[in-house]
Amino acid sequence: MIPIHVLHGPNLNLLGRREPGIYGTATLDDIERDLRVRAEGLGVALTIRQTNHEGELVGFVQEAGLSGAGILINAAAYTHTSVALRDAIAGSGAVAVEVHLSNVHAREAFRHVSLIAPVCAGIVCGFGPHSYGLGLEALARLLRNRLSPLPSDASSGANSQD
């Protein structure tokens, strides 16, 4: 099984209960259910965590790195503010994929900047809860390819198996 830690940042515990106009009606439990079904098909072992605290999120990233897991992260507001989180991802050695429910680039200018994007393998945003599923599939593929690269990938350094 491929280990992946799904990390949700601040206020995402309110998902589905407030601001449905922006973030939809799905709750974190709904997202977890969908991810667990997908994970089974992908051969992924999931650990899922949410916190409202920056330091705790940094700790979750460190734990994922130390355990050799990949990271699927919606850092919420810390995406745009946290150098500590960026340093944690960079230092963890983990392959990370950034996800967002909303299309952050279609929103306020301060959401256009992600401090963690440069240390993530890729970003999925704008597809609501489906962003997580897409991110999980992409991350699982990257990690599987890392564990057993196709011969054609050996010299190219490419991530894709397509």
Catalytic residues: 23, 100
* Residues 67-86 as x/- pattern, contact with ligand CA2 by CB under 6 A: -------x-xx-x-------
Using CB under 6 A as the binding rule, whether residue 132 contacts ligand CA2 is answered as no
Yes or no: say if 138 and 145 are a contact pair by the CB < 8 Å rule: no
Strands 96-100 and 122-125: parallel
The distance of closest approach from Cβ of residue 74 to ligand CA2 in the complex, given in angstroms and rounded to an integer, is: 5
Element holding 138 (H helix, E strand): helix 130-147
| Choice between 3 and 24, CB closer to ligand CA2 | 24
Using CB under 6 A as the binding rule, whether residue 101 contacts ligand CA2 is answered as yes
Report the C-alpha gap between 103 and 95 in whole angstroms: 22
Of 47, 102, 145, 159, the one binding ligand CA2 (CB under 6 A) is 102
Yes or no: say if 96 and 119 are a contact pair by the CB < 8 Å rule: yes
Q: Which of 32, 41, 34, 39 is nearest to 12 (CA)?
A: 32
Interface with ligand CA2 (CB under 6 A), residue total: 16
Using CB under 6 A as the binding rule, whether residue 104 contacts ligand CA2 is answered as yes
What end-to-end distance do the CA atoms of the chain give, in Å? 21
Q: Which stretch, 12-20, 26-34, 85-93, 146-154, contacts ligand CA2 (CB under 6 A)?
A: 12-20
| Choice between 15 and 35, CB closer to ligand CA2 | 15
